[in-house]
Amino acid sequence: MSYKIEISEQIMTYTIDRPEIRNAINSDVMAGFEELIQKAEESEIRYVVITATGTKAFCSGGDLSVFHELKTEAEAYPMLKRMSEVLYRIKTLPVPVIALLNGSAVGGGCEIATACDYRLVTAHAKCGFIQGTLAITSGWGGGTYLFETLPHDKALLMLTEARVYTSDELEANGWATKVVHKEEDIHNFFASMNKIRPEVHRAYKSIAKRKWQENDLKGRVDAEVRKCAELWAEDAHHEAVESFLNKSQNT
């Protein structure tokens, strides 16, 4: 099993459990997210937390050792679309969703975290929308969510610089809700959230959801997915992925 779903103190926690491959997303992890969403929609929980095993990585994005087999736009689109549906459903869950970044996040890992309401980023973590270095854009809706999350210039810079940011930079540009220096910081975050009734958290979340419905968040995500699938099919992307996979083999 590549994931765990646990409930404790009305917090439902999803843990990606593939540390050896830096918690990259494959079909099994996607199925786990689908199970999480179903459970979260049906349960009386206060929050959902998304995290991962180990201290090195929260998530390294799509599992390139599997997804490099997708060559054409028609092959890439269903994978991108499926994960974009997962992230849209996570974004629009009725309760606050917290990404607890136990380590670094790149590519789709940043998209998952950006779909969440809050990002608690471990101090040593480095995070970046590095998709540009693979000659594609974000393709799971994360670019669209980033423009919803940060001021326009900060979002555009993060996407087009396509580099990893330190936790201090992520706090400065507003992507990190909080940098976690010690375990107590996480405890304090939840203690502060718990001062407010769950009904109030849910009510504010529904205000955000109304805004997203009105400004056609779903339609904009779909356009992002389509464009990424188009770029995915180009040689520049396949060459960049080959180069990443070969680098691993040669070291």
Ligand X SMILES: CC[C@@H](C(=O)O)C(=O)SCCNC(=O)CCNC(=O)[C@H](O)C(C)(C)COP(=O)(O)OP(=O)(O)OC[C@H]1O[C@@H](n2cnc3c(N)ncnc32)[C@H](O)[C@@H]1OP(=O)(O)O
Binding window for ligand X (CB under 6 A); candidates: 57-65, 92-100, 146-154, 198-206: 57-65
- The Cα 123–Cα 106 span in angstroms is 16
Question: Minimum distance from CB of 81 to ligand X (Å)?
Answer: 11
Question: Does residue 60 bind ligand X (CB under 6 A)?
Answer: yes
Question: Does residue 108 bind ligand X (CB under 6 A)?
Answer: yes
**Binding string, residues 132-161; x marks residues near ligand X by CB under 6 A:** --x---xxx---------------------
Question: Does residue 67 bind ligand X (CB under 6 A)?
Answer: yes
- DSSP code string of 62-74: B-HHHHTT--SHH
Question: Does residue 227 bind ligand X (CB under 6 A)?
Answer: no
Cα R_g (the chain), whole angstroms: 17
Identify which of 215, 221, 249 has the alpha carbon closest to the alpha carbon of residue 68. 249
Residue 184: phi, psi to the nearest 5?
-60, -30
Tokens (6 digits) for 2 = 């590549």
Residue 190 is inside which H or E element, if any? helix 183-193
| C-beta of 24 vs 176, nearer to ligand X | 24
Q: What is the DSSP letter of 21?
A: G
Binding window for ligand X (CB under 6 A); candidates: 34-42, 64-72, 90-98, 207-215: 64-72
Question: Minimum distance from CB of 191 to ligand X (Å)?
Answer: 31
| C-beta of 45 vs 125, nearer to ligand X | 125
Among 27, 65, 173, 194, the residue binding ligand X under the rule CB under 6 A is 65
Among 161, 181, 191, 244, the residue binding ligand X under the rule CB under 6 A is 244
Largest CA distance in the chain: 54
End-to-end CA distance of the chain: 28
Burial grade of 153 (CB within 10 A; 0-12, 13-18, 19 or more): exposed
Residues of this chain that interact with ligand X (CB under 6 A) are 21-22, 24, 56-57, 60-65, 67, 104, 106-108, 111, 130-131, 134, 138-140, 244, 248
